[in-house]
Structure 1
Amino acid sequence: MSHPAKRTLSMLYGTAWKKERTANLVKQALQAGYLAIDTAAQPKHYREHLVGDGVREFLSTSSLKREDLYLQTKFTSINGQDPNNLPYDPSSSITEQVKASVASSLHNLRNNENVEESYIDCLVLHSPLPTIQQTMEAWDTMSSFVPTKVHSLGISNTSLPILRYIWDNSTVKPKVVQNRFYAATGWDIALRQFCKDSDIEYQSFWTLTGNPEFLSAPLITRTAEEVGISDEVLLYGFVQGLGITPINGTTSHIETDVAELLKLEKWKAEGHNGKTWEKVVRVFGLFLKKWAHNGDHRG
């Protein structure tokens, strides 16, 4: 899963709830340096076809090629869809629903008019289905597209037992987990350890909105002031320091967030050596473990 965006920002641009602004925001994000994009074949919350429009418009004037980008989308089961706006026939089998959803995503995210050349960097199961048998039917169908039309698979909104079951009972192993990062799940400490041990990338959403208490924590505010960046971007930096890839869906701070993340990288490299940064990240990680253990989720 090596590509420029991961090496530079270690962050994905999230496209949920952007509606008619999606294409322009995706293009703006790509121009700013977010070369990894997250979307879904879920018209209820995403405009996947407009993500494709934004990507193609960006590539038409950029020196970068499609292979320089990372495009991640999702298969969303009926439970997460608007029944009046679906990318597949709801009366068909789960297998056929997955196939139709992937076909629509390949069309939406195509680089040119030749859909045969289209591919998806990562296809994520948006959430487990009601039974583990249904979940595995969806997973096995998703696996049938790997490695040609889909390069890797992931799962979102998962628990550790379900992730373990998929890992133990699949030929194509998950390479991505995308979960809410918040107190209610204890910040997924055990699940994230499993991901680390299994070479699975853990992606966080609700990183800011799910953790408002962190933004007033002295460790965050003092370090952000020292670096000269916002508390929000510093929190992203701390989360990245834990080996997490955040999803950032900002509409108003696209360029400034990138600039501040790069400023943080420069700060770490110039005189504020890695040991200093590693120390404060380690303290942040210990705070998470303490708060998760005690149920004390105050900043």
Structure 2
Amino acid sequence: MSSSTEVSLRLNPSDAFIYGTAWKKDRTKRLVKEALKAGFRKVDTAAQPRHYQESLVGEGIREAIVEGLIRREDVYVQTKYTTPAGQDLNNMPYHPLDALDVQVHTSVASSLRNLRPNEDTEDASYVDCLLLHSPLPTIDQTIEAWKLLESYVPDKIRALGISNVTLPVLQSIYDSSTIKPSVVQNRFYSDTKYDVPLRAFCREHGISYQSFWTLSGNPKLIKSKPVTTIAKSTGTDPSVALYALVSDLGIVVLNGTTTTVHMEDDLAGLRKIGEYSQRHENEWHRARSSFQKLVEP
């Protein structure tokens, strides 16, 4: 069940979401700035030009800093090292035949350059978290890559994590590492039975669980009674009600909306649902309990 100790939903909307920058292409810089202006304070990207424009993410953050919208220390910036299997071999931050250590170091260097907070220097550049985009072909290679990334902590990388991971692999990394995983980013959908044992492991070990495919992977959840009840009671969109109920489980939701209106509405909707949950604790308790039974049977 949820680790929340309060019946009402108590969260900071800017902490509930991480802005996802995949597939934004040449709109990336504009959308990152709009997300930051709307109130998002976490940004997710990757050193994977096939799906992300990491350099444009950096440009958007730098322009937001120059324009006084944010300070670098106010924003959580997360990126990824992606193996050759996940790259476009004609457009990637390292050569596909490079040794693993060269791949990792070259990828990290490109991310630090792309995400530097100051246009003129990379000296002050750091990322708040860097994820392995997926486990490597073997557990030994996965742990080797993790050990290489540990050498950057805490100066250039503040924390480490992994995406698209199963519980046995996560346990192996946890047991073998000096710098323990701080983040897991996985699909949140019924095919994985909502990662119940893995999320329990995360809670027990202080690991933040981030969900993607939260909307697209859950058409039945969006139409479920607890979601539609909260949406109707608060006058919010069912997608926002789903976000709120997922956030109540202690999950950080990847939100990759491409319109300013949805950015603002999603944040405002979470605040509205949070206020509703405090005024109508019994109704909120019934909805959250019903929702938990759907995803944590």
Shorter-chain TM range is over 0.9
- 5+ residue gaps, structure 2: 1-10
From 213, 216, 228, give the equivalent of 2:223. 216
1:139 paired to 2:146? yes
Aligned: 1:17 with 2:23: yes
What is the match of residue 150 of structure 1? 157
The residue correspondences of 1:1-299 to structure 2 (distance < 5 A) are 7-9=12-14, 10-62=16-68, 64-112=70-118, 113-252=120-259, 253-269=262-278, 271-273=279-281, 276-290=283-297
Letter in 2 for 1:118: S
For 2:200 and 2:211, the matched residues in 1 are separated by: 14
C-alpha distance in structure 2 between counterparts of 1:93 and 1:47, whole Å: 24
Counterpart of 2:175 in structure 1: which amino acid? D
TM-score, normalised via structure 1 length: 0.92
Contact 1:153/1:173 (<8 A) preserved: yes
Instruction: For residue 276 of structure 1, report the CA deviation from its aligned partner.
Output: 4.3
Q: 1:148 to 1:210 in 2, by over 3 A?
A: same
Give the 3-state SS of the residue equivalent to 2:264 in structure 1. Answer: helix
Deviations 1:142-191 (A, max 9, x none): 11100000000000000000000000000010000000001110000000
RMSD: 1.2
Cα pair 1:43 1:81 within 8 Å, conserved: yes
Q: Give 1:267's aligned amino acid.
A: Y
Which blocks of at least 5 consecutive residues in structure 1 are unaligned?
Answer: 1-5, 291-299
| Separation (CA, whole Å) in 2 of partners of 1:242 and 1:35 | 20
The runs of at least 4 aligned residues of structure 1 exceeding 4 Å deviation read none
The letter for the 2-side match of 1:237 is A
Corresponding letter in the other structure for 1:255: E
Structure 2 distance, partners of 1:150, 1:158, is 20
Counterparts in 2 of 1:140 and 1:245: CA distance versus 1, 3 Å: same
Q: Tell me if structure 1 keeps the 8 A contact 2:58–2:116.
A: yes
Distance in 2 between the 1:240 and 1:63 partners? 26
Q: Secondary structure at the match of 1:34?
A: coil
Task: Answer yes or no: is the 8 Å Cα contact 1:242–1:281 preserved in 2.
Answer: no
* Structure with the larger RCO, 1 or 2 (CA within 8 Å, 6+ apart): 2
Encode CA deviations 1:24-62: one digit per residue, 9 max, x unaligned: 000000000111000000000000000001111111112
**1:289 Cα deviation after fit:** 3.0
Distance 1:8 1:222 in 2: 20
Q: Residue 6 of structure 2 corresponds to which residue in structure 1?
A: none
TM-score using structure 2 length: 0.92
**Secondary structure, aligned partner of 1:177:** strand
Quote the Cα distance in structure 1 between the aligned partners of 2:241 and 2:12: 18
Cα separation, 2, equivalents of 1:64 and 1:44 = 28
CA distance in 2, matches of 1:104, 1:67: 21
Give the Cα separation in 1 of the matches to 2:70 and 2:257: 23
Q: Distance in 2 between matches of 1:50 and 1:225?
A: 38
